[in-house]
Structure 1
Amino acid sequence: MKKNNTFFYLCTLLITVFLFITFTTIFSYFMLREGNKASAIKEFEVKEQEITLKTRDKLKIRVYRTKTKTIEEMDIEEYIKGVVAAEMPAEFNIEALKAQAVAARTYALAHMESVGGNGCGQINEGDICDTVHCQAYISKEDRFKAWPESKGNEYWSKIEEAVLKTKEEVIVYNNSIAKDIYYFAVSGGKTESSEEVFSQSVPYLQSVESTGEEVAPKFTSSLRYTNANFVKMINSYYPNSITSSSNLKNNIKIKNRTSAGGVKELQIGKTTITGTKFRSIMGLNSTNFSFVFNGNTVEIICKGYGHGVGMSQWGANSLGKNGKDYKYIISHYYKGVQIGKYTEL
């Protein structure tokens, strides 16, 4: 009888353990499946979000060509190839090129008058100009002339791939195409918030970390002036601001900086000016600058290249090289946005 009881208890224990393991496995499977399903739905919703645009028969953009002073109408996707080719080195990681394509496409649509855009303030006709006032554009023919002959086909194929694999994709904020998509070349380690540079707060244009850009040729730059030449240049804009070059160090004071390190205001002699204005006067690469005084000379040292707002192109390349895809890159530099697709009526 003892043996039978022992055997019975052993069998009961084994069956209980078996049922517990089976139940746990099945439960885990369905929970994992539901979790993956939720993630897939979220990704699906982002990917398939559509923005319906009122367009002409086909979505064409009218580009003002500055050299010929004419309007050239072209397919939007072909135009984006020319923008990517002009704005970002083809040697960059493919994911950075894709991010550039989506940013450029969004910027273009936001300026197309036929879909409710605001056009270009420097031209009377057309949607957009082909300079950095809007975004640079270069034709395939002209781009090939500037590339090494042995690399032309390879580079152009890479750009076409970036544009094709993001075809019709745009950056969306609050169910509309994002109107203020900015990008620039190199940050000094952080991007700038729009309100600190353009005096306009845009929710998705906030300061973020941007690492891995130290390899960029223009990560640092400097200009050197004699004290006398520096004073002459400043006084040509602001007469009698500095009365003497003999004590220049005491005539220059940085009053405040942005959270990313850019100079907001500085005092030069009797005049207070913005960092942006000083950058323009002196031809500096960025507003993230400092002064080094060496006897009869003054050196202005800069970090970064560009206005610093939005996506850093060299930062995007760094992220791409480190395994991040273009959607991650876009969400890193433009906070709270989604990626949607435009459709034509």
Structure 2
Amino acid sequence: MKIINARTTSIKISNNVKIIAAMTLIIFTILIALPIAFLENGKGKIDSFNLSDKDIMKSSKITFPSNGKVKLYHRSEDRVEEIDLEEYVMGVVASEVPANFEEEALKAQAVAARTFYMSKRNNPNKEEKEKGAEICDTTHCQVYMSKDERISKWSKSEAESNWEKIQKAVLDTKGQVLTYDGSVLEYPQFFATSSGKTEDAKDVFSMDVPYLKSEDSKGEEIAPKYKTSTQIPINDFINKINSKYKGVNANKSNLSSLIKILSFTEAGSVKEIKIGNEIVKGTEFRTLFNLNSTNFTLDFQQDSVEVNCKGYGHGVGMSQWGANAMAKSGSKYDEILKHYYSGVEIQEINYN
């Protein structure tokens, strides 16, 4: 018969308990110490282990109700219409770019247009909000026409095929939007034609937007408004200058010495222009004379001022004609979008 030594067993149990207790203490210490080591940044701040706003945006989903509708304000009719999201995007693509654009360019426009709507849905303009809408149907937001209205403006021989082409481009990119750091782009800007390079947002809108930088945009020379020339009667030009800028005292004899271009943007457009003692932004001068772009030159003649422009639009974001040139060269729509919008991703909307 085996004799059990109670004292020995007790010692063994006691030692085991001590070992377990010691190990538990060590593990507990590690569990407490390690997070503190990560959390402390050397200055007593506890922020490294917390989710930053950027991390939260990256983990967030872009949602849209499965039965949701776009609340569209028709400006000319002063009424709000609720329509399907993808139907709305079709109406924008059909209105914003020619139907004979390359399919990949149409897809790029569809994603940009859908992104533009989602940004306005999150933050509508004051006027649209007061009307109970999210977005309008003009260049104040982005242009929209219904299928029937757009088809009526195309030739009968091309109308149906044009719409089918646009419909396919939209449905092939259904629900896709552009995001930066996991959040829908707040400023998914696009425009018609560049002068060969897009503008940095800080030069046009006076704000630094990381995804709206100056980018090369080749092959746009074939665009109908790539180069334009306008003759402004000399008296009209002088009157506008004197009305806008008091004390300048512009006249026929001093115009060429009174007005000087001071600086240019990275894209080669007029950044600042001096009018007498006034320093004026190129964008302000463009608005005053309703010019096609800020990439302009002035030629003071005897009876008129000749203004020669390159490009059409504000020049920020995606150039529509540039996108088509890229598509013709074989670029896919995602490549086009990531070229014009720096550091973006394409993310699908979650319908709930």
Provide TM-score, normalisation by structure 1. 0.82
Residue 305 of structure 1 is matched in structure 2 by 312
Letter in 2 for 1:220: K
Q: Are residue 316 (structure 1) and residue 316 (structure 2) matched?
A: no
Letter in 2 for 1:75: D
Partner SS state of residue 85, structure 1: helix
Residue 120 of structure 1 is matched in structure 2 by 125
What's the C-alpha RMSD, in Å, of the aligned pairs?
Answer: 1.5
Residue 246 of structure 1 is matched in structure 2 by 253
Whole-Å Cα distance in 1 between the matches of residues 139 and 232 of structure 2? 28
Q: Are residue 108 (structure 1) and residue 113 (structure 2) matched?
A: no
Whole-Å Cα distance in 2 between the matches of residues 313 and 50 of structure 1? 31
Structure 2 gap ranges (5+): 1-57
Matches within 5 A, 1:1-345: 52-56=61-65, 58-112=67-121, 117-123=122-128, 124=130, 125-345=132-352
Q: CA deviation at 1:54?
A: 4.8
Partner SS state of residue 246, structure 2: coil
Partner SS state of residue 221, structure 1: strand
Q: CA deviation at 1:272?
A: 2.2
Provide TM-score, normalisation by structure 2. 0.80
Letter in 1 for 2:178: I
Whole-Å Cα distance in 1 between the matches of residues 59 and 322 of structure 2? 28
> Number of paired residues?
293
Partner SS state of residue 109, structure 1: helix
Q: CA deviation at 1:56?
A: 4.2
Q: Residue by residue, what CA displacement relative to the aligned partner does 1:57-102 show, whole Å, maximum 9, x if unpaired?
A: 5231100011221111111111000000111111111100000000
Partner SS state of residue 250, structure 1: helix
Instruction: Calculate percent identity across the aligned residue pairs.
Output: 46
Q: Is the contact made by 1:52 and 1:344 (CA closer than 8 Å) also made in structure 2? A: no
Structure 1 gap ranges (5+): 1-48
Letter in 1 for 2:342: K
Q: Is the contact made by 1:50 and 1:341 (CA closer than 8 Å) also made in structure 2? A: no
- Comparing 321-330 with 263-272, greater Cα deviation is found at 263-272
